[in-house]
Each structure stands twice: as C-alpha cells, then as structure tokens.
Chains A and B, each alone.
Chain A
Amino acid sequence: MHRPDLEAELERHHRAAYGWAMSCCGWDRTQADDVLQTSYLKVLEGRATFGGRSAFRTWLFGVIRRTALEYQRRNAIRRLLPLHVGPGSMEPPVSGTDPATAVEQKETTRRLTAALARLSGRQRELLHLVFYEDMSISQAADVLGIGVGTARTHYERGKRRLRELLGGRGEL
C-alpha cells in the first residue's frame, strides 16, 4: 500500500484505534496518544508492513497492541512510582444534556473500566475487541495472535468474571 492509501485507512479507523489504544494503555490518555502516534509512524514509515493476510483493522490493532506492550516495558519503572495514574483514570467526559444521565453514565464507565482492570490481560483484550469494537471472536483471536479455541475460553471466563465484578457492591 502506498502512503496516501495507508493514511486514508488510518484516518478511517482512527476512532476505533483510539479506543483500542486506550484499552491497551489502561485508559491512560497520554499513554494512548503516544502509543497511537508511534503505531501510525510505524505504519507510515514501513516499519510495520500490511501483508493483506487479514483485514486492515485487525492488522492495525495488532500493531497498536505490540506498540503498547513495548511502551509499557520501557516505562515499567515509571509505572512503579506512586504518581502513576492507574486504570480508570480517564477524565469524566462531558456527556448528554441531562446531568442525571451524565452522572449515571460516568459512573457506569468508571465501574466498567475498574472491573476490566481487574481481569487478566487476555480476558480484558478479548472483551474489549468483541464488545467495544464489535469484532467476532475469530477476528479478536487474529489481533491477539492466539487460536480461536483459546480466545473463546478467555472470552467466556472473562465475561463471567466481569459480571461477578460488576454485580458486587462496593468493590469497584
């Protein structure tokens, strides 16, 4: 693919890619920005080459995931510092016109991100790809580079655990 085509594809998938980067970075906006920029650079500079073996979005999500892992490894020491902003640090967005609804949605979002943070990495990634990105389990397995059977197992266990966490009181 040529650079203009790549840029068009990146722009088309930007919103979904941003959500995925946020998930990979524990909802840390600054990290997600950095990871996404680095991933885009990798794609545009040819350091990550799209081979056409899967959908562009699936491939792009794989690049973002690897970049996020590299980023986190590099910043492992920094993450141990007490000033680290952990999962659920996403700024409360300004939602709808109705303040009550906005507060309710904000609480829902906070609880969900907090519950997701307590899942294993694989479970969290699978649930995000399936429920947030509307991918099939097979597509999600492609992004993560694992078999469909394994993905399904993580998916089922993740769902069960997520429901338990969301159903509990005062835990999150």
Chain B
Amino acid sequence: MTQDMNDNDLRDRFRILRSDVERTTPPYRRPADRPARVRLAPVWVTVAALATLVAGAVWIATRDGAPSPQTLVALDATWWAGPTDFLLATPGIELLRSVPTIGAIEGAADDASQAINDTAERTERIRS
C-alpha cells in the first residue's frame, strides 16, 4: 500500500519504541495476586451520608408538633408552699389586695368581716 510505504519512517520509530517498551513490560499477573488496596468510599457516598445526617438533625430541631408525654409538665405538682408562708397570711390581707369600687360601700363592712373570717380559717388550715 502506498500509504504504508510512505509511512515507513514513522513505523520504524514506533517499532523501536515498541521493542523498548516490550523489553521492560512486566509479566501478566492476576489482579487477585496483587496486594489489595484499601478502597475508600466514593465521594458521592460520603456527601450523601453527610447530607442525610444534616437533614435529619435539622428536621428534629425544627419539627413543630404536639409535645411528647415526656415533655408535659404537671403544673399542679410544681406548686410549693414554703414553711413560713403562714406568716404572710395577715388578717385583712384580702382588703389590701382587692380594689374598692364606688357604690359598694354598704356591704363593705360585711365583706371585711367575711374576709377576716376567711383569713383566720386559712391561717388555721396552714398551721395544721
């Protein structure tokens, strides 16, 4: 072939290259015979795992729903009375806490006596 004839110069050069390479070519060995390399997980696997973790953490932190039974606080159980609270229960304390209203003077004495009675009862109850 004419083309081949014209390319003989290149063929000769490649033939020399080939003979050099083949002289130093290591013999065929089964890949299994070679020391196994540690194969790291591909980058996309690592990225996907991290993204899943972050998404999970965000979901847990931001989810809005009914509180779990463990998070419910029994407010009744948190009431605490100090041992000296009864000292604050002075007679007529209700009068100090209530706001007098105009036009309600007539019954004020009755209310006051009632309040005093209530206070006395309450004091007794706390002492007991």
Cross-chain contact B23 with A95 (CB below 8 angstroms) = yes
Q: Looking at the assembled complex, report how far the CB atom of B114 sits from the nearest CB atom of chain A, in whole angstroms.
A: 90
Interface contact A162-B22, CB-CB below 8 Å: no
Besides the contacts A131-B11, A163-B9, what 15 more A-B pairs have beta carbons closer than 8 Å?
Answer: A14-B25, A14-B27, A15-B25, A40-B30, A40-B31, A41-B31, A93-B21, A95-B23, A106-B20, A112-B17, A127-B14, A131-B13, A131-B14, A132-B14, A166-B13
Tell me how far the C-beta of B41 lies from the nearest C-beta in chain A, rounded to whole angstroms.
14
Determine the chain A residues whose CB is within 8 A of the CB of B7 once the complex forms.
Answer: 131, 159
B residues whose Cβ falls under 8 Å from a Cβ of A: 7, 9-11, 13-14, 16-28, 30-32, 34
Q: Is the CB–CB distance between B13 and A112 below 8 Å? A: yes
User: What would be 29 A-B contacts, judged by CB atoms less than 8 Å apart?
Assistant: A11-B28, A18-B26, A19-B18, A19-B21, A19-B22, A19-B25, A33-B26, A90-B20, A90-B21, A91-B24, A93-B23, A94-B23, A95-B23, A105-B19, A108-B13, A108-B16, A109-B16, A109-B17, A112-B13, A112-B16, A112-B17, A113-B17, A128-B14, A131-B10, A132-B14, A132-B18, A162-B10, A163-B10, A166-B13
